[in-house]
């Protein structure tokens, strides 16, 4: 049988995934046939999951935020999900069940990922989508106007999928709590970049209740590896169901059997890269994104300001299609603008070739 081959990464400009770290690849292969959903049988991978959650807690400010000054620090609460979609859905589910009101609603900015549309649909929660400001961040007046005494959860995005924007998280958390609701931060993509910025986004910066951070995006783990974290044990407790035929008594994950590859590769990638490797990559990507934005502006293109390393530009009609015909895996925003996500595989060399093609087709 002829072996199928995946695409190379050298023309992939709009993906939020990238080549996994070599140590993450190796760890994934070692733990491919383990199931962290059955911790009594697969104890080693269950221990690794606890390490992964502790490390994700440290990256997102949970370890320092909870138990600061107290002797016995609680371990962070959470688990390694199949990705950001599962993490976001479970955050909505936890808030719905902790809030426990009839006709619960969920308030998200229009920049929120479509996973919240799925979550609202699956969970029977009303989705209230509010506008963003001129710079594509959640408009806090609009958020405040949308919440009421049936709001279970208010979402802020820290690194939005289209523009890489960071919402005003502390203000959103205050609005949520004033209404008696929970606050969730979606840092699925931004979570491994934001520790090296001045943004207020994590558990140490604001009284948020839960957070999504995906090792399989900027964390350099293999797919599938997402992360869901809660400030309090109650977040995981409300998700747990009894598991009659397993040795362990309860399970909080949405999936039953799940891949130990994601868990093991998360630990391996973080061991290899936190913090210096991730910081170096953030600084490189930030420099490349700003350079690309400048190159496009020099060509007379309209380019959005760069916040996290995503470049959104209006290349004009038909140009994205022509670039796609030349093999560039380039996607558009909802408004039809070209979007380049500067992931680890997106180098200046690749982008110079891209700009050369752009000059030829436009
Ligand atoms: C990618 C992304 C998600 C969804 O994560 P998956 O791993 O694709 O399920 C959710 N939120 C944001 C902000 C994302 O960028």
Q: Measured in angstroms, how far is the CA atom of residue 202 from the centroid of ligand 1?
A: 17
Beta carbons of 260 and 36 less than 8 angstroms apart: yes
- If asked whether residues 264 and 294 sit together in one domain, one would say no
- If asked whether residues 193 and 208 sit together in one domain, one would say yes
In a domain, 12, yes or no: no
Position 353 scores a pLDDT of 98
To 10 degrees, what angle do helices 115-123 and 84-99 make?
40
Residues facing residue 185 across a β-bridge: 156, 211
Of 250, 273, 296, the position where a domain reaches its end is 273
- If asked whether residues 231 and 280 sit together in one domain, one would say no
In a domain, 160, yes or no: yes
* CATH number of 311's domain: 3.90.1150.10
State how far the Cα of 323 lies from the Cα of 358, in Å rounded to an integer. Answer: 7
- If asked whether residues 183 and 290 sit together in one domain, one would say no
Burial class (CB in 10 A: 0-12, 13-18, 19+), 28: buried
- If asked whether residues 154 and 217 sit together in one domain, one would say yes
State how far the Cα of 218 lies from the Cα of 101, in Å rounded to an integer. Answer: 36
Q: Measured in angstroms, how far is the CA atom of residue 88 from the centroid of ligand 1?
A: 8
- DSSP class of 222: P
Q: Measured in angstroms, how far is the CA atom of residue 300 from the centroid of ligand 1?
A: 32
- If asked whether residues 56 and 149 sit together in one domain, one would say yes
In a domain, 208, yes or no: yes
Going by CA atoms, what residue is nearest to atom 10 of ligand 1? 84
- If asked whether residues 215 and 321 sit together in one domain, one would say no
Q: Measured in angstroms, how far is the CA atom of residue 44 from the centroid of ligand 1?
A: 28
What is the separation of C-alpha 87 from the centre of its chain, rounded to a whole number of angstroms? Answer: 9
- If asked whether residues 152 and 300 sit together in one domain, one would say no
Q: Which atom of ligand 1 is nearest to the CA of 157?
A: 13
Of 273, 294, 316, the position where a domain reaches its end is 273
User: Is cis: bond before 275, omega within 30 of 0?
Assistant: yes
Q: Is 193 left (phi over 0), alpha (psi -120 to 50) or beta?
A: alpha
Q: What is the pTM of this model?
A: 0.96
- If asked whether residues 124 and 246 sit together in one domain, one would say yes
User: Is cis: bond before 224, omega within 30 of 0?
Assistant: yes
In a domain, 225, yes or no: yes
Domain count, the chain: 2
Q: Which atom of ligand 1 is nearest to the CA of 161?
A: 15
- If asked whether residues 68 and 197 sit together in one domain, one would say yes
User: Is cis: bond before 97, omega within 30 of 0?
Assistant: no
- If asked whether residues 178 and 289 sit together in one domain, one would say no
For the chain, how are helix, strand and coil distributed in percent, rounded to 5? 40, 15, 45
Position 71 scores a pLDDT of 46
Q: Is the pLDDT of residue 25 over 80?
A: yes
Whether 98 is in the pocket of ligand 1, judged by its Cβ within 6 Å, is no
In a domain, 17, yes or no: no
Q: What percent of the chain has pLDDT over 70?
A: 97
Domain that holds residue 340: 276-361
State how far the Cα of 158 lies from the Cα of 90, in Å rounded to an integer. Answer: 18
Mean pLDDT, the chain, integer: 95
State how far the Cα of 305 lies from the Cα of 196, in Å rounded to an integer. Answer: 19
Q: Is the pLDDT of residue 321 over 70?
A: yes
Reading the block at residue 98, the tokens are: 């902790």
Of 248, 273, 298, the position where a domain reaches its end is 273
In a domain, 14, yes or no: no
pLDDT tens-digit profile of 196-226? 999 999 999 999 999 999 999 999 999 999 9
Q: Is the pLDDT of residue 230 over 70?
A: yes
pLDDT tens-digit profile of 60-110? 999 755 444 444 457 799 999 999 999 999 999 999 999 999 999 999 999
Position 80 scores a pLDDT of 98
Work out the pLDDT band at 245, boundaries 50, 70, 90: confident
What is the separation of C-alpha 56 from the centre of its chain, rounded to a whole number of angstroms? Answer: 12
Mean pLDDT, range 31-47, rounded to an integer = 95
Position 68 scores a pLDDT of 46
Position 70 scores a pLDDT of 47
- DSSP class of 46: H
- DSSP class of 195: G
In a domain, 338, yes or no: yes
């Amino acid at each position: 049988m002829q072996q199928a081959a995946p695409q190379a990464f050298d023309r992939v400009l709009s993906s939020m995934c990238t080549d996994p770290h070599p140590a993450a690849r190796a760890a994934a292969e070692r733990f491919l046939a383990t199931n962290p959903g059955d911790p009594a049988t697969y104890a080693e991978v269950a221990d690794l999951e606890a390490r992964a959650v502790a490390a994700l807690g440290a990256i997102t400010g949970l370890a320092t935020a909870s138990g600061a000054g107290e002797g016995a620090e609680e371990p962070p609460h959470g688990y390694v999900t199949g990705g950001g979609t599962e993490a976001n859905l479970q955050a909505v589910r936890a808030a719905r069940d902790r809030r426990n009101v009839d006709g619960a609603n969920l308030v998200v900015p229009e920049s929120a990922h479509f996973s919240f549309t799925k979550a609202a649909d699956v969970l029977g929660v009303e989705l209230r989508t509010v506008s963003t400001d001129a710079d594509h961040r959640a408009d806090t007046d609009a958020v405040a106007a949308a919440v009421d005494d049936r709001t279970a959860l208010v979402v802020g995005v820290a690194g939005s999928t289209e523009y890489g924007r960071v919402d005003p998280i502390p203000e959103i958390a205050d609005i949520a709590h004033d209404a008696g609701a929970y606050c969730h931060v979606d840092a699925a993509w931004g979570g491994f970049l934001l520790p090296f910025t001045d943004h207020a986004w994590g558990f140490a910066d604001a009284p948020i209740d839960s957070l999504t951070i995906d090792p399989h995006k900027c964390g350099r783990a293999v797919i599938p590896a997402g992360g869901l974290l809660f400030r309090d044990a109650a977040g995981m407790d409300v998700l747990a169901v009894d598991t009659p035929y397993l040795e362990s008594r309860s399970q909080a994950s949405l999936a039953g059997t799940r891949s130990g590859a994601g868990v093991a590769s998360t630990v391996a990638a973080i061991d290899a890269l936190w913090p210096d490797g991730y910081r170096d990559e953030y600084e490189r990507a930030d420099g490349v994104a700003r350079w690309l934005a400048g190159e496009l502006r020099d060509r007379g293109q309209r380019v959005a300001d760069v916040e996290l390393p995503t470049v959104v530009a209006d290349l004009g009609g038909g140009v994205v299609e022509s670039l796609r015909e030349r093999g560039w895996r380039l996607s558009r925003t909802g408004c039809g603008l070209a979007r380049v996500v500067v992931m680890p595989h997106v180098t200046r060399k690749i982008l110079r070739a891209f700009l050369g093609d752009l000059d030829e087709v436009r």
